[in-house]
């Protein structure tokens, strides 16, 4: 039971970390995309 909780907690932390890094990557690449096609908002 305890191990199950630990694995789920690790999974949640991993998902949160992935989302954070994805957000950072998105904000960094958004400028490039906007320069390439100005139609994008």
pLDDT in tens, the chain (41 residues): 578 888 999 999 999 999 999 989 888 888 887 788 777 55
pTM over the 0.75 mark: no
pLDDT, residue 41, reads: 57
pLDDT, residue 40, reads: 59
pLDDT, residue 15, reads: 92
- Cα three-residue angle 15-40-34, rounded to 5 degrees: 80
Contact (CB, 8 A) for 40 and 33: yes
Of all residues in the chain, the percent with pLDDT exceeding 70 is 93
């Amino acid at each position: 039971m305890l191990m199950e909780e630990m694995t789920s907690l690790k999974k949640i932390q991993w998902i949160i970390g992935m989302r954070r890094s994805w957000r950072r990557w998105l904000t960094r690449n958004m400028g490039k995309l906007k320069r390439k096609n100005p139609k994008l908002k």
